[in-house]
Amino acid sequence: MGADSFHSDSSTAIICLRAIFQGRVQGVGFRYRTSRLARKHPISGFVKNLPDGTVELVVQAGDQSILDEFFDEMMLTFATNVANVSIQEMAPDTSRQGFSIER
């Protein structure tokens, strides 16, 4: 059951999630490795360090299963680094293309 089944037009609903990662997530290649993982999936968004020592990830896709797969892969990759992650849904940025590391 895809999100587009609820729409009469050909557009797909974009799901956008914002995640804040806590733990040993700065200075360990977290942003670089996240960017590499993101490029393996049909998603867009960004990752950036925050001043409080956490890392912010905003990611969007046209299908929840794509985001689930991406987050599963991230949690496996960073299992020893992440102490806590909080995820919330937010309004998508339909102008965003690709995935970037922001500073």
Catalytic residue numbers, as ranges: 31, 49
Following DSSP, what letter does each residue of 35-80 receive, concatenated?
Answer: HHHHTTTT-EEEEEE-TTS-EEEEEEES-HHHHHHHHHHHHHHTTT
How far is 16 from 93, CA to CA, in rounded Å?
A: 8
Element (H, E) at 23: strand 15-23
Structure tokens, 51: 């001043």
